[in-house]
Amino acid sequence: MSIPSLLFTYVVVLLAGLAGVGIYSELRRRRFEPSQSEDHIFRCGRCGYVYTDDPDVDRSRCAQCGQMNKAIEY
């Protein structure tokens, strides 16, 4: 085996190993990361209180002052 092909094989094996470790760590991170909540976020127009409510609710009553509020759209 010539030296250039030996070096090429060495580099390819190292890069494949590094890619494998990267893919493994990404899959592991996704498995143990908490999932994003589907709840809607609300901000009271009167008192400024920020709170969440169920995803099937379009308007929600503020727990601080009782005013009805619409969900925040991002």
Domain boundaries, the chain: 1-33, 40-70
Tokens 């901000």 belong to residue: 43
Residues 42-51 have pLDDT tens digits of 999 899 999 9
Report the predicted TM-score, pTM, of the whole model to 2 decimal places.
Answer: 0.52
Residues 15-71 have pLDDT tens digits of 999 999 999 999 998 888 887 778 888 999 899 999 988 888 888 999 889 889 988
Residues 5-18 have pLDDT tens digits of 999 999 999 999 99
Helix (H, G, I), strand (E, B) or coil at 18: helix
Write the CB contacts of 35 (distance below 8 Å, at least 6 apart in sequence).
none
Structural tokens at position 6: 């030996």
Count of other CB atoms within 10 angstroms of residue 58: 8
